[in-house]
Structure 1
Amino acid sequence: MSLVHKLMNISHKDVLSCFVMFRLSRHFGILPLAFVRVFFSLLIALLNIMLKDCIALFRPPVLDISEFVRQTTIDFLSGLPQCFLQPASENSQQEKEWGLFLSFLQKNKKVKVAIAKVEFYEFYIVPPCDGAKFCHVPVLYRIEKKQQSKSSVYNESRAEACSRLASSAVGPSKTLERNYVQADPSYLKTLGQAHSSWIFGAVAELVDNARDANATMLEISIDMIYSQKDDKDIPMLSVIDNGHGMTHQEIVRMISFGHSQPDADDPDRIGRFGIGFKTGAMRLGKDALVLTQTSNSRSIAFLSQALNERKDNLEIPIVSYRRTGQFMEVDTSVQTEALVKYNLKAIKDFSPFNKYLIGEKAGLFHAKGTGTQIYTWNLDEWGSNYCLEWDNGMSGGSSFHQGDILIRSRRIRSRPGQMSRMVPLDYSLRSYLEVIFFDPRMKIYVQGSLVKSRPLAKSLNKTVVENGVIMEKSVQLTLGRCQLEWEQANCGIFLYWHGRLIEAYKRVGSMIHNGDKSHGIIGVIDVTDLMNDGNGHVWVHSNKQGFQDCEAYALLEEWLGNRSDEYLDKYVDKIQLIKGNALHKPDHEWVQCDKCRKWRMLTPGFDSKMLPQEWFCYMKPFSGKCEMPEQKVGRGVITVSAKRSQCDPMENPSKLIEGLLENANSTSEDSNGDASSQTVEDDVLPPLKRLRRGPPRDCKQKL
């Protein structure tokens, strides 16, 4: 009831008497004693009303106990801040009720905890200690959900009091809030939708992080692991690299939300948008654990949908250690011991990891090793099975029996002009990782077997290097023919950004409508500079699987189409007579050193199949040193294979035709001979005369 309404309840007789006496005093100049009595009566009544309202305004909150639960069902009590609750009894009955309440808690202290909610705080009233007086009781609390509170003196003063009390009880309270992010847990599912169209895009995000960490080795595999929570074996995807690892601040940044983009484009880094790990991990599975180590620290982070189920705020446990001599100890400068215990218990309860398994995985770092390990489980499902399927392959087998991770649907990605149904890159992780980098240097293992990288620009036949300028920025396109893509009826341009594949088999120019003529034609280009506007913005989608619609991209498409059409008109053979099974043998064959990761050109005529599984620079046919620079193909000219026929058709066309016929007839006989292709371009072949039938012309004249 408002103050005005309460004043209206004062006796009308008293108010009228006071008014009449006041008028008489002004007329006669006398202040009657009765007037003074009535006036002070009204004043006292008014003060009583105001005092009651003030008492109600500053009255402590009334806690409504919502439920009693067992302590064993609440696994996070040890990590919560603590304050003390004192009763504000208004009468003897309430004081008696308080004693009965505490007696009940003390008798059931092993099983009972009272839960009360006020505004955005959730209080856990624990039983008092034995022998303690019932003047106060310890209370643990946490922020359940922050809402815009009503503007009142009571709300502000209570929040400040709780903060001060928590600080005095358990030290700095800010460290306890680092587990929480002001975001709904369903946002984790939203993050995974960034790669909803192609799950290998999520794997690529984790590969990018490994390359940015200067890793030289990366292992990707899916293995079965026992889950105590599910009481069965479940598949778990692991991505392990030997990069420089992450500090506590770096891993907090990686799992946090809402980072601004950098002002400048770093040419040495692929990651830019700050969401790669989160979008990738949440697309692959519902839960992910990160174990990372630097030379001086080790951290564990847990991003989980299961942990945050039915919660109002997103919780991300992080545990960090620092190196002290030969040991890793809890880093108390960034967290409390209580928070560490709480976070480790959350990881144990909601993941297949316990302290022994975490210790086993940490042992993979060896003595002073560095790197990052990412484990993802509760993998994305496809119907009644998993979206991914995996094959461990055969140890010691051929390249056709190596392990791989495949997309179960085997669906081909949609591209303009796409006709072929054989695109292993779209559903085979091994095939995708073979060409994911423009200049591959990192060793990548899939299901335990090494991925043999394919530097596309060095693996083409009839290689042509085209240079151009688009929007005052230089671009360089490498065009050629690839035997593997010709067999699979594929063609198109591979577009790289920061050395990472963004678009594959992009058809341009006549490739879109004339696929038969373009089979096997492959282009390779890096557009890092072109896709940077110079003001810190890049024209690349945040999922790094495509480019934005912009002027630079439109001009690039036009330029690529013109260069591709020119290549088709000039260098694609119209007549092809095949000798052996290699129609488009690469101009040069290359091998990568397993130590320095440099590419070495093989000598002409050397059979690359004779190379060992692990090859180094000192071996034949290179017989050099790792310090020697790489060899490069000259720019701006078409390079012809050393095994290609050098016959000039304009000098002796009859000799050319005889040679072609002879080669065509001997193809089936000489299966172990030269495997190069013999080709004729009919735009330079002289016209042949039509053969006449019947006897010679001189015979007809004699008749």
Structure 2
Amino acid sequence: MATRKSGIPLSTISPKFLHANSTSHTWPFSAIAELIDNSYDPDVRAKQIWIDWTRIRGLDCLSFMDNGEGLTRARLHKMLSFGFSEKKAMKFHIPVGVYGNGFKSGSMRLGKDAIVFTKTRDTMSVGLLSQSYLEAIGAQRVLVPMITFRRDGHNHVEDGGSLRAILSHSLFNSEKELFAELRAISAAGHTGTRIIIWNLRMTSNGETELDFDTDKYDILVRANTSDKSNMTPESEYSLRAYCSILYLKPRMQIIIRGQRVKSQLISKSLALIAQDNYRPSFLNKRVRITFGYNTQSKEHYGIMMYHKNRLIKPYVKVGCQCKAERKGVGVIGVIECNFLQPTHNKQDFDDTDKYRKIMHNLGIKLEEYWNEIRYKRKKEDPKCTVAIEDVLKVPDQVWVQCDSCLKWRRLPDAITELPDKWFCGMNYDPQFRSCLVEEELEDEEEDQKSYPKPFKRQRRNTKSLLEENIPEITQTQDEPALTTIQAPRHPATSVISGPSLAERSPLPLINLTAVSNSLRRVKQKFSAIETQMEVTPSFPVPSLTPPQELFFQTHWPALNEERKTLTQSDTLASKAACGMMEGIESHQGLAAAEETCERDASSGTGREYCSAAARIIELPLKNEKKWVVHHEGHDDDEEEEEEEECNLAEAQQWQDELMELMHETAEERDACRQELEVLQEHSAALEDERNQLICRLESAEEEKSKLSAQCDQLRTQLAELRERSQRGKEEKDDSCKLRTLRLNLSRLLVSFIPSLRLEHVDYSSDVLDTILIQVLEHIT
């Protein structure tokens, strides 16, 4: 146990910790990204980094080399140790590394052994971090052999043991080989660092985890390559694709296996770009969010979450993108979350209250953008039936990085093709035709206003108007409890509300059960009113005044007609519900249908139906008490005239309200009919899709039968070939036997004919047979 002079024990690190520490990287590309970050950070400031595969002494190796500042002996020792991070921001360049653990966890995740060659202006150093070395010597703590060569020749005397360890337990067995690797750094620049990792992680099949053979200019993840599909982003299995989006604004060129990665400004490479702002409650400034459509594949969508310019979580689906309604398809959001804390492997964020809030609000912002784009498209072309995500799109802007100064320049939108190498001197804009000119203004320096949202504004105005036109029904102290009859407000009684038909998704989820129930309750209320008017009351029946009789004679048939219409709508909606709910549940799942019912319940349209039904019942009951009182007393003529005038005014008011309610009910009925038409269209689309699938199945069956016939033919041909091969083999055997027989016979004939020269005899011909016949005739 190591102790200081004070007698307090020192904490040590077991060699097993190297493997345990590397398990935080469940994906090999996250480990590679850690090594790229070390070259990108401002303490190194590399302009290029080369990632390659090589074989040394028969072993597959990964090599990383940059042309940065290099590492002194002290900095190399801290890099090979744990928890040391002294990186500082330099002129808008914020370091990615924060934990002092990236090189250890990343290199040991890729392989068991790593050697570091680094070169500064004054020194050259070599360091070894090797699990194989620690296992071979039975070490109880992590040892990191290091040697340093100074340009003035004053090398460290104590490096002798480290040199022997490196030469004995690495891929390089002599100082000459070490210096050859150090000189290789000079090909990239005067200073730099080179890392070689070997004993790479293997799969259960005995192959390396990384695939170096499929693409000679790329490095692939072998497991993800076999499972790739159109739904899987290329960055999941291709290192070249992953590195192209690794940084929000790339400041370093990445060369993979000799070919430069075409980095892209992800926030500038989208179509229909819109800038939105979000101001969290825990920040004093707004956060910029960029939304747009993916121009390459509509199946790759979600939020690209960066932290200090580095990609943390790609294609995160939020809000409506997580539901079965296929909303938000093709939409990509880009945000830099410097206010969140990434996990140690830099592939996720800590699950804190801040993180949950930002994810919730990102879902709201994304759905707003999706609705606004659809609303704008429908307004521009109402007859368009093609979904916006299915339209071929090109990026709104064209940006390119100079291969010399690494600055980004904006080009005219008409540019479609660029050379492999592009320099500022090739710019069309004379203002930015020199590498000495600064870049164009960033989004943070431009106008901070969010994009206009006419759809959101229109929906807000419509909601306010509805709230003003539909007052809440309340009970007064003068009215008996009987006048407070209201339809129950239950989630199951609501109907569709919200965006119009043009703004809905192509696969609508409509709560037909709720529509049917609401219409049925309205019908029951009308029946109750009619029954109430026909039944003989237990108290004296009031005689109606002439204005009241005139009102009921005039408007009650219309009320009955409206009730019949609602009954027919109820029957139609019920039939549609029976037929279409099965299609909705089979196509989108029972959970999605239930979720839609709950969402529709909170939309408010159900309350409008309940309010309408309640007011229809409430109004006659309001006046019933006054009519009864009118006929119970007061013989005075003046009081009687005043009462009649009051009743006439109330009847007139009641008539106006009933007419308004009938108009609103008719509008709701028309809306239900339109929703039913949408469902019928959707049913027809599903039927067409089913017919297409049946046709494809039939064609597949035909193709299968053809393939079966071809297989039978191939089997027959194979049998014939085998038979021919067997006959040829038998003939060859017979020929060999005949040659052997003639050879033995020639030896026998030599005794009878000494002048016979065997070296001139052709054993494949019948010359020897002729000689034998002649000898036999001579003997006989």
TM bucket (normalised to shorter chain) is: 0.5 to 0.7
Question: 2:273 aligned with 1:448, yes or no?
Answer: no
Question: What residue identity is the alignment partner of 1:404?
Answer: D
Cα distance, 1:519 vs structure 2: 2.3
Match of 1:477 among 289, 312, 316: 289
In the TM superposition, residue 258 of structure 1 has moved relative to its aligned partner by 4.7
What per-residue deviation string (whole Å, max 9, x for no partner) do you get for residues 40-62 of structure 1?
xxxxxxxxxxxxxxxxxxxxxxx
Deviating more after overlay: 471-480 vs 614-623:
614-623
CA contact (8 A) 2:271 2:394 kept: yes
- Specify the code of the residue in structure 2 equivalent to 1:455: L
Q: 1:185 to 1:500 in 2, by over 3 A?
A: same
Is the aligned partner of 1:597 residue 2:423? no
Query: Of 115, 130, 153, which aligns to 1:304?
Result: 130
Deviation at 1:223, TM superposition (A): 1.2
State yes or no: 1:352 paired with 2:171. Answer: yes
2:192 maps to 1:390: no
Question: Is 2:335 the counterpart of 1:525?
Answer: yes
Give the counterpart letter for 1:249 in structure 2: A
Report how many residues are paired. 434
1:187 deviation in Å? 1.3
Question: Which of these residues, 357, 378, 383, is aligned with residue 199 of structure 2?
Answer: 378
The one of 247, 253, 258 equivalent to 1:437 is 247
Match of 1:229 in 2: none
**Residues 477 and 412 of structure 1: CA distance in aligned 2, closer, same or farther (over 3 Å):** farther
Question: For 2:65, which of 231, 240, 244 is the aligned residue?
Answer: 240
The answer to whether 1:314 aligns with 2:136 is no
- Cα gap change, 1:419 to 1:682, in 2 (>3 Å): farther
Shift of 1:582: 7.2
After superposition, the Cα gap between the structure-2 partners of 1:412 and 1:541, relative to the gap in structure 1 and judged at 3 Å, is farther
Residue 291 and residue 317 in structure 1: after superposition, are their counterparts in 2 closer, same or farther (change >3 A)? same
What secondary structure does 1:477 align onto? strand
Distance 2:94 2:130 in 1: 31
Quote the offset at 1:683 in angstroms: 5.5
**TM-score, normalisation: structure 2:** 0.52
Corresponding letter in the other structure for 2:191: T
Aligned counterparts of 1:260 and 1:594: Cα–Cα separation in 2? 31
Q: For 1:442 and 1:300, how far apart are their aligned partners in 2? A: 25
Per-residue deviation, 1:194: 1.5
Give 3-state SS (helix, strand or coil) of 2:296's partner. helix
Structure 1's 600 and 356: CA in aligned 2 closer, same or farther, altered over 3 A?
A: same
Q: 1:524 to 1:515 in 2, by over 3 A?
A: farther
Kindly indicate whether residue 50 of structure 2 is the aligned counterpart of residue 219 of structure 1: yes
Structure 1 Cα separation of the partners of residues 59 and 11 of structure 2: 29
Structure 1 260/412 Cα, relative in aligned 2: closer, same or farther at 3 Å? Answer: farther
What SS class does the counterpart of residue 218 from structure 2 fall into? strand
Aligned partner of 1:28 in structure 2 is none
1:241-640 to 2 correspondences below 5 Å? 241-259=66-84, 268-309=94-135, 310-324=138-152, 329-332=153-156, 336=157, 339-354=158-173, 355-366=175-186, 369-383=190-204, 384-391=206-213, 393=215, 403-410=217-224, 421-470=231-280, 471-473=282-284, 474-486=286-298, 489-514=299-324, 516-528=326-338, 530-531=339-340, 539-572=341-374, 573=377, 575=384, 583-606=392-415, 608-609=416-417, 611-623=418-430, 624-632=433-441, 635=447
- 1:15-54 aligned at under 5 Å gives the runs none
Relative contact order: is structure 1 or structure 2 higher (C-alpha 8 Å, sep ≥ 6)? 1
* Alignment of structure 1 residues 165-180 onto 2, 5 Å: none
| CA offset digits 1:321-364 (Å, max 9, x no partner) | 2222xxxx3533xxx2xx32221221122111232322111112
Q: Secondary structure at the match of 1:238?
A: strand
Structure with the higher helix share, 1 or 2: 2
Partner SS, residue 248 of structure 2: coil
Structure 1 residue 193 and structure 2 residue 5: aligned?
A: no
Q: CA deviation at 1:629?
A: 3.2
CA distance 1:444–1:147, change in 2 (3 Å): closer
Rounded Cα–Cα distance in structure 2 between residues aligned with 1:370 and 1:582: 49
Q: 1:578 to 1:148 in 2, by over 3 A?
A: closer
Asked whether the 8 Å contact 1:219–1:445 carries over to 2, the reply is: yes
Matches of 2:191 and 2:103, distance apart in 1: 19
Change (3 A) 1:148 1:463: closer
Q: 1:503 to 1:363 in 2, by over 3 A?
A: same
CA distance, structure 1, for counterparts of residue 391 and residue 200 of structure 2: 41
Deviations 1:164-191 (A, max 9, x none): xxxxxxxxxxxxxxxx993221111112
Distance 1:192 1:274 in 2: 13
CA deviation after TM superposition for structure 1 residue 628, in Å:
2.8
1:540/1:392 Cα in 2 relative to 1: closer, same or farther (>3 Å)? same
- Decide whether aligned partners of structure 1 residues 514 and 563 sit closer, same or farther in structure 2, where only a CA change above 3 A counts: farther
Q: In structure 2, what is the Cα distance between the partners aligned to 1:567 and 1:578?
A: 15
C-alpha contact 1:502 1:546 (8 A) present in aligned 2 = yes
Percentage of pairs with the same residue: 32
The one-letter code sitting in structure 2 at the alignment partner of 1:385 is E
Deviations 1:190-228 (CA, angstroms, capped at 9, x unpaired): 121111x211110011011000111100001111121xx
Unaligned runs of 5+ in 2: 379-383, 453-500, 505-673, 678-780
When Rg is computed on C-alpha atoms for both structures, the one with the higher figure is: 2
* SS in structure 2 at match of 1:586: coil
Which letter does structure 2 place at the counterpart of 1:387?
Answer: E
Q: 1:456 to 1:377 in 2, by over 3 A?
A: same
1:682 to partner: Cα distance: 4.8
Gaps of 5+ in 1: 1-145, 150-155, 160-179, 227-232, 395-402, 532-538, 641-680, 691-703
Preserved CA contact (<8 Å) 2:231 2:300: no
1: CA distance, partners of 2:165 / 2:267: 49
- 2:33 corresponds to 1:204: yes
- Alignment partner of 1:483: what SS? coil
TM-score (norm 1): 0.57
Query: Aligned equivalents of 1:578 and 1:508: distance in 2?
Result: 20
CA contact (8 A) 1:412 1:426 kept: no
Going from structure 1 to structure 2, the CA distance change for 1:306 and 1:546 (only over 3 Å counts) comes to same
Give, in whole Å, the separation in 2 of the partners of 1:373 and 1:349: 20
> 1:463, 1:639 within 8 Å by CA — same for their partners in 2?
no
Identify if the C-alpha distance between structure 1 residues 582 and 364 changes in structure 2 by more than 3 Å, giving closer, same or farther: farther
2-structure distance, mates of 1:181, 1:296? 34
| Closer/same/farther in 2, CA of residues 635 and 408 from structure 1, 3 Å limit | farther
Deviates more, 1:353-362 or 1:442-451: 353-362
Could you tell me whether the CA contact under 8 Å between 1:240 and 1:374 is conserved in 2?
Answer: yes
In structure 2, the CA distance between the partners of 1:683 and 1:186, relative to structure 1 (3 Å rule), is closer
